[in-house]
Structure 1
């Protein structure tokens, strides 16, 4: 069967999962864990990339 192509451009670095929550190991007073939210540096947290023709080049 033929495969359908994606309409949106998913980021190659994060594969569309642009933000990750990382636990630090410490806990808040209520017992929940302290987490840091880290965004993908390539797509800046959007999960998508812009096509090469859309990117502005030059002055």
Structure 2
């Protein structure tokens, strides 16, 4: 039986919240130097809260 998830996948990063970008330089042991960049919308979690439900007010 499928379960209802409480958190949704972030629409900005599609669940891949942190990426590493190479700078093109090498370290002394030959590895590439990288910079980590986190998704600004979900702040690196990969999930977003469900949108709030609308409520009717008035008569």
TM-score by length of 2: 0.75
Aligned to 1:20: 19
Task: Please tell me whether Structure 1 or Structure 2 has the larger radius of gyration of its CA atoms.
Answer: 2
Aligned to 1:57: none
Runs of 4+ aligned residues of structure 1 deviating over 6 Å after TM superposition are none
C-alpha separation in 2, matches of 1:17 and 1:52: 20
Question: Structure 1: which 5+ runs fail to align?
Answer: 54-59
TM-score by length of 1: 0.75
Q: How many residues align?
A: 50
Structure (1 or 2) with the greater strand fraction: 2
| RMSD of Structure 2 on Structure 1 (CA) | 1.7
Higher deviation after alignment, 41-50 or 6-15: 6-15
Question: Structure 2: which 5+ runs fail to align?
Answer: 53-59
